[in-house]
Chain A
Amino acid sequence: GAVVSQHPSWVICKSGTSVKIECRSLDFQATTMFWYRQFPKQSLMLMATSNEGSKATYEQGVEKDKFLINHASLTLSTLTVTSAHPEDSSFYICSARLQGAGDLYEQYFGPGTRLTVT
């Protein structure tokens, strides 16, 4: 149980275009989802925390107008990278936290999306 999927797995786009990444919790409801970015040989960097039905909370230094997050349902959150530039090329990973207090606040990770902006 507790499977999280991401789509697409990888994407190549041209500079200036927008890319949408979907994150789905397949067999559980997730009131909270997290979006991370990871550059090569570096650790995970939290970009934003997404709560169902409300605005996302962005970490310092992350542009909310560039990285649009929508958490429209308990099983789906989307990240849209707008006007992508080569420096946005990275590995984007989402995670979902199980609803309820007995879940140890464990985060279940999606497989990640590798974005390359040319």
Chain B
Amino acid sequence: GQNIDQPTEMTATEGAIVQINCTYQTSGFNGLFWYQQHAGEAPTFLSYNVLDGLEEKGRFSSFLSRSKGYSYLLLKELQMKDSASYLCASLDSNYQLIWGAGTKLIIKP
């Protein structure tokens, strides 16, 4: 079966660093996406990884290990506006996105 696992909720402090993990099992694999979704809004694209390794984009970085079926999203210098849900999604062999349930990130002052 196809399965994406990520923590339901995480809490972090403003200015700190947080890592959101995602493990996936999908039929075929064509890449791993991370999206950010604020409450009541549609998701917005953050990153895409298809090769092993770390992709850095400003305060956000995303890592992929294909052999382990594992990815993480790393957020640095956290700001209050980073409070949102972070969705992990795997692109399967049919190029369909298989979505995780999302991780709600709460940032405290």
Return chain B residues, CB-CB under 8 Å to A50: none
Within 8 Å of chain A (Cβ to Cβ): is B91? Answer: yes
Distance (whole angstroms) from the CB of B11 to the closest CB of chain A: 16
Return chain B residues, CB-CB under 8 Å to A87: none
Number of interface residues of A (CB under 8 A): 19
Taken together as a complex, chains A and B put the C-alpha atoms of A106 and B44 apart, in Å, by 11
User: A-B pairs with CB below 8 Å: how many?
Assistant: 41
Q: List 29 A-B contacts (CB under 8 A).
A: A34-B97, A42-B101, A43-B87, A43-B99, A43-B101, A43-B102, A44-B87, A45-B99, A46-B96, A46-B97, A46-B99, A91-B40, A93-B42, A104-B31, A104-B48, A104-B50, A105-B30, A105-B91, A105-B95, A106-B33, A106-B45, A107-B45, A108-B45, A109-B42, A109-B43, A109-B44, A110-B42, A111-B41, A111-B42
Residue numbers of B with Cβ under 8 A of A are 30-31, 33, 40-45, 48, 50, 87, 91, 95-97, 99-102
